[in-house]
């Protein structure tokens, strides 16, 4: 990134009283709000832990939350916005991605033994962002008050101190204990960190705000800090979750497939990744989507998806332990449609080999044997933004690829997509594999349902009587839908934030007029 600004950008740090209190959403909202105020704003998270990732135009991997924040800020994605990404592949280990490229796997004990070198890399990324923008909004990770981790934690106060960034604390009242969250956080952190905190935001409030005035007064008096916003819980806005399946998705619902609907099931793997692939389908009013973890009969589902996985062989073992393989075989035997995305595609083949232990112990695992393909995991990760055509209907598809596996088809096995572009460069390559009747297929394209043309064609295959909602959100591309969500989010937060006070804290000169 070229430097064209002499004075480094101001920084504002948004730290949390715990995990999943809404830091990512707050930063996303602030990015769109400051962008609306004509401020050149960029997001930054020194280290993210997530299996939900995205690919930049330069073929670098970064956390999906920071990708959403960058789009909300209306700036081009760059790996400097998330210089360190940890992708958990076991309960205690993760792949370490530095500046968009994997540098190996690490156990938690080894990783946290020495984080100084990663801290230096994160600082360099931050300085590059500050040279290009007016304001950098820095997101913390987890709780900023994990006292046992403070010497090695470079995502929260340590990086805020380097940037001389004022800190805003975010607490989640919906989970309860908001007084303890805020007061307790301030009590246990060192005094120099405490003095950096300039205010707090209370997130996910339900009910009559007037009834909580005494609560706000207590917190302001007890902490000596201003309340910057009491943000009501919302249900009308959809923002990509940083990690894990979104809170509003019901896993293993008691009800089964619904008559008159297109019923789709997605298996909820223990190491599921990039579940956002299915969001455009889930929003269609003609579709009922169930995430399934516990085995059940699959009769009545128009299609079943095997999603991405950060540990494909381990999730294959889980499939067999839970007898999902038997149920999938029976479903396919009844002419069911089974589709694999990335790791799910690999599972559909005959075998997955991991000679170098990229996702665990070296070895190989038999696949489900439903596609005549074989996969070998390599050290080099395939990262690209990809464009192609769906060979069956010649529909244009766009997506992104994140995989360490190379999958080879046997002779005569149909491919799925003719790839015409990868990371901005023209190619003529083939992706995916299918059975001859097209009922079982797999692809490496994440985000394949983002374009409405292919989405409609796919749903018509499942139900020839499908009629898309021509004037609704399902008729637009996913990028346009998401941009509308950022506008809705910004409007929601503007209504309840003390924006003038927040702008003063940020140190950025701008008007609150929109």
Active site residues per annotation:
342, 446
**Cβ–Cβ under 8 Å, residues 135 and 508:** yes
Provide the token pair at 48.
Answer: 């993210």
CB contact set of 508 (below 8 Å; sequence gap of 6+): 10, 34, 39, 134, 135
In 3D, which of 259, 66, 54 has the Cα closest to residue 155? 66
Handedness of CA 135, 46, 310, 293 (dihedral sign): negative
The separation between the first and the last C-alpha atoms of the chain, rounded to the nearest angstrom, is: 30
Measured from the Cβ of residue 372, the count of other Cβ atoms closer than 10 Å reads 16
Report how far residue 415's alpha carbon sits from residue 435's, in angstroms, rounded to the nearest whole number.
9
Distance of CA 286 to the CA centre of its chain: 25
Provide the token pair at 268.
Answer: 């909820």
Report how far residue 330's alpha carbon sits from residue 262's, in angstroms, rounded to the nearest whole number.
20
**Cβ–Cβ under 8 Å, residues 306 and 268:** no
Report how far residue 216's alpha carbon sits from residue 226's, in angstroms, rounded to the nearest whole number.
9
Measured from the Cβ of residue 5, the count of other Cβ atoms closer than 10 Å reads 13
Handedness of CA 73, 77, 80, 82 (dihedral sign): positive
Tallying the residues shown for the chain, one arrives at: 514
* Long-range contact pairs involving 327-333 (C-beta distance under 8 Å, separation at least 24): 327/295, 327/296, 327/297, 327/298, 328/298, 328/304, 328/368, 329/368, 330/298, 331/298, 331/299, 331/301, 331/304, 332/370, 332/439, 332/440
CB contact set of 331 (below 8 Å; sequence gap of 6+): 298, 299, 301, 304, 338
**Cβ–Cβ under 8 Å, residues 98 and 82:** no
């Amino acid at each position: 990134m070229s430097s064209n600004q002499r004075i480094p950008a101001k920084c504002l740090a948004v730290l949390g009283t715990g995990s999943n209190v809404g830091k990512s959403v707050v930063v996303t909202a602030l990015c769109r709000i400051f962008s609306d105020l004509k401020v050149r704003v960029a997001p930054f998270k020194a280290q993210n832990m997530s299996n939900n990732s995205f690919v930049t135009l330069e073929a670098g991997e970064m956390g999906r939350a920071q990708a959403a924040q960058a789009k909300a800020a209306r700036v081009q994605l760059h790996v400097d916005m998330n210089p360190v990404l940890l992708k958990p592949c076991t309960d205690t280990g993760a792949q370490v991605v530095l500046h968009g490229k994997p540098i190996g796997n690490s156990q938690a004990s080894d990783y946290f033994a020495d984080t100084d070198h990663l801290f230096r890399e994160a600082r360099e990324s931050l300085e590059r962002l500050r040279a290009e923008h007016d304001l950098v909004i820095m997101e913390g990770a987890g709780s900023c008050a994990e006292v046992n981790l403070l010497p090695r934690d470079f995502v929260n106060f340590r990086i805020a101190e380097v940037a001389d960034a004022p800190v805003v604390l975010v607490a989640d009242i919906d989970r309860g204990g908001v007084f303890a969250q805020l007061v307790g956080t301030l009590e246990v952190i060192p005094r120099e960190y405490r003095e950096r905190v300039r205010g707090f935001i209370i997130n996910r409030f339900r009910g009559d705000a007037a009834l909580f005035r005494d609560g706000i007064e207590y917190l302001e008096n007890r902490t000596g800090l201003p309340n910057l916003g009491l943000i009501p819980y919302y249900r009308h806005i959809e923002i990509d979750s940083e990690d894990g399946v979104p809170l509003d998705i019901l896993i293993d619902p008691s009800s089964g497939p619904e008559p008159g609907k297109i019923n789709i099931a997605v298996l909820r793997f223990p190491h599921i990744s990039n579940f956002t692939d299915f969001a455009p389908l889930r929003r269609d009013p003609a579709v009922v989507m169930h995430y399934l973890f516990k085995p059940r009969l699959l009769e009545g589902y128009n299609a079943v998806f095997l999603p991405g996985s950060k540990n494909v062989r381990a999730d294959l073992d889980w499939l067999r332990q839970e007898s999902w393989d038997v149920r999938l075989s029976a479903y396919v035997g009844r002419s069911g449609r089974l589709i694999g995305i990335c790791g799910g595609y690999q599972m559909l083949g005959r075998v997955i080999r991991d000679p170098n232990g990229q996702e665990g112990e070296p070895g190989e695992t038999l696949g489900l044997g439903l596609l005549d393909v074989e996969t070998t995991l390599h050290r080099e990760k395939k990262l690209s933004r990809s464009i192609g055509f769906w060979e069956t209907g010649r529909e244009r598809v766009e997506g992104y690829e994140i995989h360490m596996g190379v999958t080879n088809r046997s002779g005569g096995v149909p491919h799925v997509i003719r790839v015409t572009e990868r990371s901005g460069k023209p190619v003529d390559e083939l992706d995916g594999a299918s059975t001859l009747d097209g009922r079982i297929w797999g692809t490496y394209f994440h985000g394949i349902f983002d374009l409405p043309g292919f989405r409609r064609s796919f749903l018509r295959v499942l139900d020839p009587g499908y009629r898309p909602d021509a004037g609704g959100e399902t008729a637009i591309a996913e990028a346009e839908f998401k941009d509308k969500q950022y506008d809705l989010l910004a409007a929601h937060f503007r209504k309840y934030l003390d924006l003038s006070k927040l702008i003063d804290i940020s140190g950025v000169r701008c008007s609150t007029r929109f």
